Amino acid sequence: DVAVLPIPAPAGESPRFFLVLFRDRTAERRTEQMRTDFVANASHELRTPLASLAGFIETLQGPARDDAAAREKFLAIMRDQAARMSRLIDDLLSLSRIEMKRHLPVKTPVDLTDIFRTVEDQITPLAEELGVSIELDLPQTPVFVAGEEDELLQVFSNLVENACKYGQSGGRVTLRVSQADERGRSVVDGSVTDYGPGIAPEHVPRLTERFYRVDVANSRSKRGTGLGLSIVRNILLRHKARLLVHSAVDEGSTFTARFPACDARSVEIENSYQKQ
């Protein structure tokens, strides 16, 4: 954008100097475009099951009115479509809540090994249903990161659920917490590995985009919304953590959340100073 502003001249004279301002609005436009795309995608995702529901209602009121077998079948499909809309709305609300909190710092030390144990408990029924066994590889002692417990639970349940659903053929999923050194700084890694089909390299950079799916039909059949990894990304941003994806086709994938290490004692001391 260009703005041209006249610089006031002495009374009675017309201005001879002008201030020319340039403003680069590329970034603003990109954000605006992303917002528009998001609303369009979300509406489309909601409209598809809604159209299917409307279609079945019409059929049930008309041609299938007296067909008991068809009615049962259609009602089951309608229940699934309604459940899909409800999952989508839950994920959309989660995403907007998380985005609003994205700039609030996290301070409370949370033991990541505890988070992993809870996630393992929660995922057990799905893992059993899919025939996937879960392996836990955790250090004996607590490993702290600065974070918010609910959000961290959400990150790792999303990753473990994906590993079970998409990596089902691998038969097992490994959850690991470890400490490492990255360029002299200590970091904490929470990782989830599956031994399934893996992800082709061209898809990896786009995985955390909202509604991005490698295979839409496969994601839908597995009750996916396409929002799971963008929720993960936003939570990790708030935690100053990074998401690393290591994947090889036919071998499997490892999703690692890498956090700055946190000394639980020093965080407590710092907080109590702030209170005074």
- Which of 151, 253, 257, 259 lies at the binding interface for ligand ADP (CB under 6 A)? 253
The nearest distance, CB 214 to ligand ADP, in angstroms, is 3
Residue 225 binds ligand ADP (CB under 6 A): yes
Is 213 an interacting residue with respect to ligand ADP (CB under 6 A)? yes
CB of 196 to ligand ADP, least distance (A): 5
Residue 70: exposure state from Cβ atoms within 10 A (0-12, 13-18, ≥19)? middle
231, 95 in Cβ contact below 8 A?
yes
* Residue 245 found at the interface with ligand ADP (CB under 6 A): no
Q: Is 167 in the site for ligand ADP (CB under 6 A)?
A: yes
Minimum CB distance to ligand ADP smaller for 109 or for 196: 196
Residue 16 identity (one-letter amino acid):
R
The reply to whether 49 sits near ligand ADP by the rule CB under 6 A is no
Q: What are the backbone angles phi and psi of residue 85, rounded to the nearest 5°?
A: -65, -40
Which of residues 121, 215, 268, 270 is near ligand ADP by CB under 6 A?
Answer: 215
Q: How many residues does the chain have?
A: 276
Contacts with 146 (C-beta within 8 Å, 6 or more apart), sequence order: 106, 107, 108, 109, 110, 239, 259, 260, 262, 267
Q: Considering the rule CB under 6 A, would residue 226 count as an interface residue with ligand ADP?
A: yes
> How many whole angstroms separate alpha carbon 38 and alpha carbon 46?
12
Is residue 259 within the footprint of ligand ADP (CB under 6 A)? no
* Contact status: 170 vs ligand ADP (CB under 6 A): no
Min CB(121)–ligand ADP separation in Å? 20
Per CB under 6 A, 194 contacts ligand ADP: yes
- The 3-state DSSP class for residue 6 equals strand
CA distance 225 to 92: 9
Cα gap 166→158, rounded to integer Å: 12
Which of 123, 138, 145, 199 touches ligand ADP by CB under 6 A? 199
Site residues, ligand ADP (CB under 6 A): 158, 162-163, 166-167, 194, 196, 199, 207, 212-215, 219, 224-229, 253
